A = this chain, B = another copy of it.
Amino acid sequence: MKLSRAEEELMNHLWRLKRAFMKDLMDSYPEPKPASTTISTLLKRMQDKEFVGYEANGKLREYFPLVSKESYFSKHLKGLIKNFFNDSPAQFASFFTKKTELSEEELLGLKRIIEDQLNQKK
């Protein structure tokens, strides 16, 4: 199951806020804000898809994510790699590194991470 574009946007707000009431979600949208019923509809659909839960606090509901951004994103990425890179993360990484202009610091940071990973392998 996957989220639609609009749902994903809302989910991003929710991940950032961690827990949020309707009002907080509304606030997190820039102008022009969507109608609050639109958010409600999205929240409902996301509950059906089991991406969002809530805790009733009196009548108000405090919503929270049921999946972490990390795991959601990992699936996403895995799909991309599968579809576009022959299921080879290395091929993907090489594409990414070549096509994205990273600054020197960024490259050094990355290099360090990779070296750490290599050391762990030993």
Contact = CB atoms under 8 A, between A and B. Distances in A.
Given A89-B100, A99-B70, A111 B118 contact: yes
A60 interface: no
A121 to B, nearest CB: 5
Could you say how many copies of this chain the assembly holds? 2
Contacts of A107: 114, 117-118, 121
A121 B104 contact: yes
Nearest to A84: B73
A114 B121 contact: no
A115 interface: yes
B102 A89 contact: yes
A90 interface: yes
Contacts of A89: 96, 100, 102, 106
A59 interface: no
A118 B90 contact: no
Contact of A102 (B12, B70, B90, B99): B90
Interface of A: 8-9, 12, 69-70, 73-74, 76-77, 80, 83-84, 89-90, 93-100, 102-104, 106-111, 113-115, 117-118, 121
